[in-house]
Structure 1
Amino acid sequence: MGTIVVSFNPWVDGERNFFQFTGLTEEVLSALAEARAVIFPQTVSPELYYFVRRLGKPVFPQYDLRFTFPGKIGQILLFRALGLPHPRSLCIPRICAFGPHPGAAEIPLPEPPFVVKGNHGHEGREVFLVRNPEDWEEALARLRSWEASGRYGFLLQEYLEFPYDLRVVVLGKKRLPFWREGGFRRNLAQEGRPVPCPDPEIEARALEVVEALVEKTGFNLVAVDLLFREGIPLLNELNFVFGLRLLGGEAAFRHYLEEAVREFLTNL
């Protein structure tokens, strides 16, 4: 077991502190070898993350399954693998899945309206509502342009008509719920706005689902977005890098983060 805390997170001080995108010099690698724990930023690369995990070092945040199941497709497969509730979703790795190819499964398009969601988008930038054949052709054109630039994969997902969605920020042992309403895209970067909890009973059920996710994955720094089918909470997606407005800004986030890291180090 090492003796020092090494931090790559600019908001958390350790005995040794490094720029999060620093070169992995002998100095850095030696410090990691001596570490009793390593603190990462949310933007940590999978290569560095898994190198440190291979060294057997405790890390915060714990992101093992984040990198094992990458992208929106990976998240849906993670929810399915863990038996956690999520919207009905069809994962498409490439447009050519629609065939004709020997061995290709037939893909029945959902009845409109349905949602098309790109594998790599953030803040709703790759999410489209398909209401008619014209919308589907427009979505396909976008998907083809993404594939031409090397960005593959998308979801076909059921459209859930519920006036609100819920984001729960997991920060260490804290669970911070934030409700949103608005247009089709309810994130604050586009059409959404925060609202008070509309139904404490539904919120309690949603927090139970989030707790099950945390227990099965070990995630301790993530924003969990949930949708609802007739009041039943469903895991929609996970955001490991997320905006801070709902939390109250950078100062509030840093307070929660420092508290979570202290907890983590105390329990080693």
Structure 2
Amino acid sequence: MQGPIVSFHPMIDADRHILLVSRRALDRADRLAVAGAAAVILPQTPRPDVYELVAGLGKPHFPRAGVALSLDGKVGNLRLLTALGLPHPASVAFAEVAAAVAAWRAGRPDVLALGRPVVVKGAGGGMGQNVFLVNDPDELSALTPQVQTHSLHGPRGLVLQRFIDGGGADLRVVLLGLRHEAYWRVAPSGQWRSNLSQGGQTLRDRRSADMAQGVALARRLQRAAGLDMAGVDVLIPPGGQPLLLEINFYFGRGGLGGTASFLELYLAAVGRWLAALGLDPGRARLCADD
């Protein structure tokens, strides 16, 4: 396979390293570089114009980000999981909070079937900050100013989801090409959100059989959706079957040991991908610190 390896990732160098600082527009030199590339390394969530250029020219690239740039966010996740027929908690999507409130007050069967309490997830946001637990439509209505319904790379709106007790923990499976990292996120005592930013703790040595099931489900999602890199949240109720909760295309690195450790994992995934293409993994490397 002829041509240079081109990297748009700010922290991964290659034969040609293109930095799009200050949101500068793509220029002719960028387009010629991609056109002549043997392979292209992308950021975790690339700019849409960069992805359109690389994919449009049919260049091998890592990670594949088509799903991340079209079905990101809680509403997009629900559409994807429903379309793929993968197990997830019963959920109903709405374009606006007012529409969800009206449906609940009107006794719409699909909303009532969710039971109480209901998990409310705005389309955008992260780290558990746009997720709420409510018991009735009045509580939901009061959250109108707080629910973020905009999603940068996915459909807007919100999701009402059945609350399922996962025993105070869920499983985060970080997909890194052909490999993965998995760990439990355990909620603080008396809390229901297990996000690390909400005080959750990580555990790796726990419920190993359940962890294997959760990883297997995340891998099913990866194959079905064509994902290379994502943080997949899986809920495994005690004695129950695993359910997909969310797909995070830009996720926290705390459970992986921080940014430096994550970049090493990212580079390793890139190396495996390059090797599969018949290219020398050594042609990609982390940028040296200044």
Normalised TM-score (structure 1): 0.88
Distance 1:132 1:72 in 2: 21
Distance 1:66 1:179 in 2: 24
The alignment status of 1:128 with 2:132, answered yes or no, reads yes
Query: What percentage of residue pairs aligned between the two structures are identical?
Result: 36
Classify 1:24/1:161 alpha carbon distance in 2 versus 1 (closer, same or farther; 3 Å).
same
Deviates more, 1:166-175 or 1:189-198: 189-198
Counterpart in the other structure of 2:172: 167
Deviation at 1:141, TM superposition (A): 4.6
Question: For structure 1, which runs of at least 5 residues remain unmatched after alignment?
Answer: none
Counterpart in the other structure of 1:52: 54
SS in 2 for 1:142: coil
SS in 2 for 1:255: helix
Counterpart in the other structure of 1:259: 268
Question: For structure 2, which runs of at least 5 residues remain unmatched after alignment?
Answer: 278-290
Counterpart in the other structure of 2:184: 179
Distance 1:2 1:54 in 2: 19
Q: 1:30 aligns with which of 19, 29, 32?
A: 32
Distance 1:74 1:66 in 2: 9
Distance 1:58 1:12 in 2: 17
Normalised TM-score (structure 2): 0.82
The alignment status of 1:115 with 2:119, answered yes or no, reads yes
After superposition, where does 1:14-163 map in structure 2 within 5 Å?
A: 14-20=14-20, 21-95=23-97, 97=99, 106=108, 108-109=111-112, 110-143=114-147, 152-162=156-166, 163=168
Deviation at 1:251, TM superposition (A): 2.3
SS in 2 for 1:38: strand
2:111 partner letter: P
Distance 2:247 2:135 in 1: 26
Counterpart in the other structure of 1:207: 215
Distance 1:197 1:23 in 2: 47
Maintained 8 Å contact 1:184/1:191: no
Q: Deviations over 1:65-116 (max 9, x none)?
A: 2223232111111111111111111011234645989xxx946343321101
Classify 1:25/1:195 alpha carbon distance in 2 versus 1 (closer, same or farther; 3 Å).
same
Maintained 8 Å contact 1:116/1:139: no
Distance 1:132 1:181 in 2: 27
Deviation at 1:128, TM superposition (A): 0.4
Classify 1:100/1:89 alpha carbon distance in 2 versus 1 (closer, same or farther; 3 Å).
closer
Classify 1:170/1:135 alpha carbon distance in 2 versus 1 (closer, same or farther; 3 Å).
same
Distance 1:190 1:112 in 2: 23
Distance 2:98 2:204 in 1: 44
- Larger relative contact order (C-alpha < 8 A, sep ≥ 6)? 2
SS in 2 for 1:42: coil
Classify 1:35/1:166 alpha carbon distance in 2 versus 1 (closer, same or farther; 3 Å).
same
Distance 1:99 1:132 in 2: 9
Q: CA RMSD, aligned part only?
A: 2.5
SS in 2 for 1:237: strand
Counterpart in the other structure of 1:227: 235
Distance 1:98 1:120 in 2: 16
